[in-house]
Amino acid sequence: MVEKDFYMEHPAVTAMTAREADDWRYEHRIKMSDDTAPKPVRSFMEASFPEFITLELEASGFERPTPIQMQSWPIALSGRDMIGLASTGSGKTLCFALPALVHIIAQDYLQPGDGPIALMLAPTRELVLQIKGECDKFGSSSGVKNTAVYGGVPKGPQQRDLAHGVEICIATPGRLLDFMGAAQTNLRRCTFLVLDEADRMLDLGFEPQLRQIIAQATIERQTLLWSATWPREVQLLADQFVSDPVLVQVNDAIDLRASTSVEQLFEVVDERQKHDAFIRYLHSVSDGQCRIIIFCEKKRGCEQMRSDLRRRGFSAESIHGDKSQQERDWTLQQFKQGAASILIATDVAGRGLDVKDVKFVINYDAPSQAEDYVHRVGRTGRAGARGTAFSLFTPSNASAAREIVQMLHKSGAHVPHEMERLARSVHGDGHGHRRWR
């Protein structure tokens, strides 16, 4: 029998009445599917983590846990399966990384030939590396080893890590299946399973691979599924592979919306005016120090933008699908260290890119759907900070504008008149197509 319940309720949490817990959840816009689930914690000390984790949390510079962490940690530490619905930038990585460490420390040591105890699946290399960074930070003092398994780089170093034995494997589904198919790792010891950004993994067509992988993990596992949205496909996946879960929803995540910590600005322009409007705004906000992410639709557009901005004296780098992993890593390092204050990206960076202190996100090319917009905007305003998103729309973006306007109305956000007009300029023809008025 696998031990999964490691939660010790802090006396201050025990003293909290059910009414006080409900009031706290209401204040922080948290909804729960199970009234019997543990009450939230309000500080790192109340979370009752081992001392090495608490000390690292306090040294990280955060004043207190984020709302999703406050409610998720007690559930995950108590061994329950859970589904977390939270917007990007909410701090969800630590919601599963820290309970995973506690779970691992309580298990028997790995033996030769054993696969990982904790498996964390993510849709992109960037997100895998972000999760690994947190596991490195908090797991080093406890001796918990991890490796990142993803495509686009040689298999040799990843294969050696798996052969030597790692307690945590953070992986994209395709590359992990390659190693499993070659019998270079296994999931016989996997008792802590995380599906991060499940909606994105299904969007990318990973459902068959996910099913193959999950089928090989032990039935006694604890499963945590995370998603920014809650489409029917994700619900069906959860129904099959998550056992009697507690569903935690933060900021009405089921209703798609951008983070409330981000000021959202829009400008509707003719295609010929677009570049001038962009340069005008960039000059107004860039001081050479603050970090800015600019989203372009195409890889070629990223490179053209990079060349143009560097000619104008901006320190800019680009990242997209044609870049090798080594080039991506170097570019992100330049951006994080401030050697380049501007990062130009396709949607490859729309999710999983976690860089502190990004002040501005600029959508030079509008996203094709509201969900992509939310994730792009979520690159700023993270971990309690404030940010600004500026988006350019042309008449060709009317369909996306309609989705985004609907989302803004639902969340009670201000909608500029020009966006309203653009959204009304397209309507259905009765066959699922959209036509210009």
Residue with tokens 């006080």: 20
Query: Above 80 in pLDDT, residue 127?
Result: yes
> What pLDDT score was predicted for residue 349?
59
CA dihedral 226→228→234→238, nearest 10 degrees, is 30
The pTM is what?
A: 0.69
Q: Which of 88-102, 228-242, 251-265, 296-310 has the lowest mean pLDDT?
A: 251-265
User: Where is pLDDT greater, at 428 or 34?
Assistant: 34
Q: How far is CA 277 from CA 300, 302, 389, 395, in A?
A: 20, 17, 15, 15
Q: Is 127 buried (19+), middle (13-18) or exposed (0-12) by CB count in 10 A?
A: buried
Taking the C-alpha atoms of residue 400 and residue 137, their distance in angstroms, rounded to an integer, is 39
Find the radius of gyration of the CA atoms of the chain: 22
pLDDT in tens, 210-258: 999 999 998 899 999 999 888 888 999 999 999 999 999 986 544 556 6
CA-to-CA separations, 271 to 254, 301, 363, 414, 431, in angstroms, rounded:
34, 15, 14, 24, 28
Neighbours of 31 (CB within 10 A): 16
Task: Indicate the burial class of 139 (C-beta count within 10 angstroms; 0-12, 13-18, 19 or more).
Answer: buried
CA atoms of 244 and 238, how far apart (whole Å): 10
Task: Enumerate domains of the chain plus CATH numbers.
Answer: 11-250 (3.40.50.300), 262-436 (3.40.50.300)
**3-state SS, residue 347:** helix
* pLDDT for the residue 388: 95
Q: What is the pLDDT of residues 153-166, one digit of tens each?
A: 999 999 999 999 99
Model pLDDT for residues 367-379, shown as the tens digit of each residue: 988 878 888 888 8
CA distance 98 to 234: 24
CB of 249 closer than 8 Å to CB of 31 = yes
Of residues 368, 332, 369, the one with CA closest to residue 124: 332
Question: pLDDT tier at 389 (50, 70, 90 boundaries)?
Answer: very high
- For the residues 44-73, what does the mean pLDDT come to? 90
Q: Residue 301 above 50 pLDDT?
A: yes
Structure confidence by residue, pLDDT tens digits, 340-376: 999 999 986 555 567 778 999 999 999 988 878 888 8
- Least confident span in 27-41, 295-309, 331-345, 368-382: 368-382
pLDDT at 108 over 90: yes
pLDDT, residue 88, reads 67
pLDDT of residue 193: 98
Name the helix (H) or strand (E) containing 232.
helix 232-241
pLDDT at 78 over 90: yes
For the sheet with 168-171, list strands across it: 30-32, 246-250, 82-85, 222-227, 192-195, 118-121, 168-171, 146-149
Q: How far is residue 374's CA from residue 123's CA, in Å, rounded to a whole number?
A: 17
Using left for φ > 0, alpha for ψ between -120 and 50, and beta otherwise, residue 313 falls in left
> In whole angstroms, what is the distance from residue 171 CA to residue 319 CA?
21
pLDDT at 432: 34
d(CA 421, CA 434): 16
Is 146 in contact with 168 (CB distance < 8 Å)?
yes
Give the residue among 223, 235, 234, 231 at the shortest CA–CA distance from 120.
223
Residue 28 burial (CB < 10 Å; 0-12/13-18/19+)?
middle
Residue 215 β-bridge partners: none
What average pLDDT does range 23-41 have in this prediction? 90
| Average pLDDT, rounded, for the chain | 89
What pLDDT, on the 0 to 100 scale, is given for residue 437?
A: 32
**Proportion of the chain above pLDDT 90, given as a percent:** 66
Task: Kindly tell me if the per-residue pLDDT of 322 is higher than 80.
Answer: yes
Could you tell me whether strands 146-149 and 168-171 are parallel, antiparallel, or unpaired per DSSP bridges?
parallel
Residue 87 predicted with pLDDT over 80: no
In this structure, of 46-60, 140-154, 306-320, 345-359, the range with the lowest mean pLDDT score is 345-359
pLDDT of 294 > 60? The answer is yes
